[in-house]
C-alpha cells in the first residue's frame, strides 16, 4: 500500500512556469531569473520574481496553479489506493510540505555566457523525501500490527490515517541537508528575459534535486 505520494512533483512545477516567460528585461542576468524561479516555487518568496517584472496577478495565478495541481495529484494517489483524503487533511499536508521546502536554501552562479545563452548552476540543500514517505508508511504499518480490526477495510482506513499523520509530522521535522546538490540549467533570452531553455527539464531536475532524487 506504500504510496509514492509526492514523486511526480515536477509535473505540478512545470504546469505553472510558463507565466514567467517575458516578464523581465535583459538588465538582469540568467542567475537572477533562475534564483527568482527557485525562490518562488521552493521558498514561496515572491520578491525576486516581482523585481523581474512579474505582476502580482500572475504570481498569484502561478502559486494557485501549483497548489491546485499538487492537491489534485495527492487526491488522485489516495483514490488510486482505494482511499479518500478529507479536505482538511489535504490542506494540512500541502501546507507542511511547503513549510519543509521553505527551509531549503540555494546559491546560483553563471558558469558560462555567450551569444544569448548562459549556463547557470544552482547549489541547493535538499531533504530525502522518499525515505520520509517510506518511514511514515512503515511506522503506520507497525502501529496497525498492534491493533485488532474487524475487517480489511477498517485496517486500511487505520493505515491511511496513521500514514498521513506520520507524514505531516515528518514534514514538520524536516531538516535541510548539510551538503548541497547541483543542478545545471541552460538559459536563453526570450522576450528580453532570461529563462531556462527547457522549462520541463528544469522543473523536473529541480523537483528531483530538492527532494533527494537527483
At 163-199, the pLDDT tens digits run: 999 999 999 999 999 999 999 999 999 888 899 999 8
Is the residue at 67 inside a domain? yes
**Chain-centre distance for alpha carbon 1:** 23
Q: Which domain holds residue 33?
A: 9-210
Torsion of CA 59, 188, 121, 17, to 10 degrees: 20
- From CA 211, how far away is CA 197, in angstroms rounded? 23
More confident residue, 173 or 7: 173
The reported pLDDT for the residue numbered 26 is: 53
Residue 94 and residue 71 in contact, taking contact as beta carbons nearer than 8 Å: yes
Indicate whether 81 pLDDT > 90. Answer: no
Residue 125: phi and psi, rounded to 5, are -75, 170
The answer to whether position 3 is within a domain reads no
Please count the structural domains in the chain: 1
pLDDT at residue 119 tops 50? yes
Query: How wide is the angle at C-alpha 6 spanned by C-alphas 37 and 133, nearest 5°?
Result: 125
8 A C-beta contact, residue 129 and residue 175:
no
* Domain-embedded: residue 27: yes
| Residue 35 pLDDT grade (very low, low, confident, very high; cuts 50, 70, 90) | very high
- The C-alpha cell at 196 is 531556462
> Is position 133 within any domain?
yes
Residue 2: inside a domain, yes or no?
Answer: no
Kindly report which listed range (16-20, 67-71, 120-124) carries the lowest average pLDDT score.
16-20
Mean pLDDT across the stretch 154-168? 91
24 versus 67: the higher-pLDDT residue is 67
pLDDT tier at 24 (50, 70, 90 boundaries)?
low
Q: Between 46 and 28, whose confidence is greater?
A: 46
Mean pLDDT over each residue of the chain, to the nearest integer: 86
Distance separating alpha carbons of residues 20 and 34, to the nearest angstrom: 11
- The pLDDT tens digits of the residues spanning 126-151 come to 999 989 988 999 999 999 999 999 99
Q: What's the pLDDT score for residue 152?
A: 87
Evaluate whether residue 180 is within a structural domain.
Answer: yes
Is 121's pLDDT higher than 70? yes
CA 172 to chain centre: 15
Q: What is the pTM of this model?
A: 0.86
Q: What's the pLDDT at 13?
A: 54
Residue 4 lies in a domain: no
Q: What is the mean pLDDT of residues 77-91?
A: 85
Residue 58, domain member (yes or no): yes
Amino acid at each position: 500500500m506504500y504510496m509514492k505520494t509526492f514523486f511526480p512533483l515536477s509535473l505540478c512545477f512545470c504546469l505553472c512556469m510558463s507565466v514567467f516567460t517575458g516578464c523581465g528585461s535583459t538588465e538582469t542576468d540568467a542567475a537572477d531569473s533562475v534564483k527568482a524561479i527557485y525562490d518562488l516555487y521552493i521558498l514561496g518568496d515572491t520578491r525576486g520574481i516581482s523585481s523581474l517584472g512579474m505582476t502580482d496577478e500572475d504570481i498569484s495565478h502561478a502559486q494557485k496553479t501549483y497548489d491546485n495541481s499538487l492537491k489534485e495529484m495527492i487526491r488522485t494517489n489516495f483514490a488510486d489506493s482505494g482511499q479518500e483524503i478529507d479536505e482538511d487533511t489535504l490542506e494540512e499536508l500541502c501546507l507542511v510540505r511547503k513549510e519543509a521546502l521553505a527551509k531549503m536554501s540555494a546559491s546560483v552562479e553563471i558558469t558560462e555566457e555567450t551569444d544569448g545563452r548562459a549556463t547557470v548552476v544552482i547549489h541547493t540543500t535538499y531533504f530525502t523525501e522518499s525515505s520520509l514517505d517510506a518511514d511514515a508508511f512503515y511506522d503506520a504499518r507497525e502501529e496497525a500490527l498492534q491493533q485488532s480490526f474487524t475487517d480489511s477495510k477498517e485496517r486500511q482506513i487505520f493505515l491511511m490515517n496513521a500514514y498521513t499523520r506520520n507524514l505531516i509530522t515528518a514534514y514538520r521535522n524536516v531538516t535541510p541537508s548539510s551538503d548541497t546538490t547541483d543542478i545545471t540549467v541552460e538559459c536563453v533570452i526570450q522576450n528580453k528575459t532570461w529563462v531556462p531553455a527547457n522549462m520541463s527539464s528544469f522543473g523536473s531536475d529541480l523537483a528531483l534535486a530538492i527532494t533527494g532524487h537527483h
